[in-house]
Amino acid sequence: MDTYENLLLNLQEGILTITINRADKMNALNIDTVREIKAAMQQVYDDATIKGVIITGAGAKAFVAGADIAEIAELSEVNARNFAERGQEIFSMIEQCNKPVIAAVNGFALGGGCELAMACHMRVATTSAKFGQPEVNLGLIPGYGGTQRLPLLIGRGKAMELMMTGDMITAEEAKALGLVNHVVAPEELFTTCEAILQKIMGKAPLAIGLVIECVNAVFDKEENGFQTEANSFARCCASEDFIEGTNAFLEKRKPAFRGL
């Protein structure tokens, strides 16, 4: 694993845990940290030994409490556009990854932190976690994809309310809205994430990657999601894992998928 200034990476049993390690700054996303997240995700894409990813924040207070306000305060209109587009590109890397990525939300997930969590495929939160897009309090709007992903996850009306009021919601409220998959006690956060990933890692890797691709196609205006699904279904049927999976079912045994 490469070493980073603002991230801690730990790979165990095929699961890479990426920890944003700026606890003294509530794990706020500065430009260097976002750049490092991109590099870490590139490792995920390139390293076949990585089967799943957990993204979390250091300490007990925050997943990511937002962006670095000191950096944002210096933005002009031109470099603000570049700032937003760069963050959107990196968060899209997470969303489009063909390996499962879970956000382990262990505290405040605000602004860019909420956007980071939403870019992950699933979200598991502790009972003390809080979510929100409070950018309007700074005269801003979300810039890393929040205006696009939040309505898709919780519906247009509630997303409008949260982004226009800047209100925070609890983990239980987030779960009721569909923003969070599971709410657990703090001591159960990582065991829950790992259990989900271990279950997924026992399935056919090609099929898992294609599920991600097809679900993402639902939200891509340039994609015909039904055609993407049909094409992906055909790709599965041409794979060795399909033969193994169907044979194992008929032979009443556990399949041994190889990702081929």
DSSP track, 84-105 = HHHHHHHHHHHHH-SS-EEEEE
Instruction: Give which of 84, 155, 141, 87 is closest to 119, Cα–Cα.
Output: 87
Q: What does the alpha-carbon distance between residue 257 and residue 203 come to, in Å, rounded to a whole number?
A: 7
Does the annotation count 135 as an active-site position?
Answer: yes
First to last CA, the chain: 26
Of the listed 71, 77, 135, 222, which one is catalytic? Answer: 135
Sign of CA dihedral 136, 141, 145, 150: positive
Of the listed 13, 77, 95, 115, which one is catalytic? Answer: 115
Orientation of helix 205-218 relative to helix 77-96, angle to 10°: 140
Does the annotation count 74 as an active-site position?
Answer: no
Q: What does the alpha-carbon distance between residue 231 and residue 12 come to, in Å, rounded to a whole number?
A: 34
Q: Kindly list the catalytic residues.
A: 115, 135
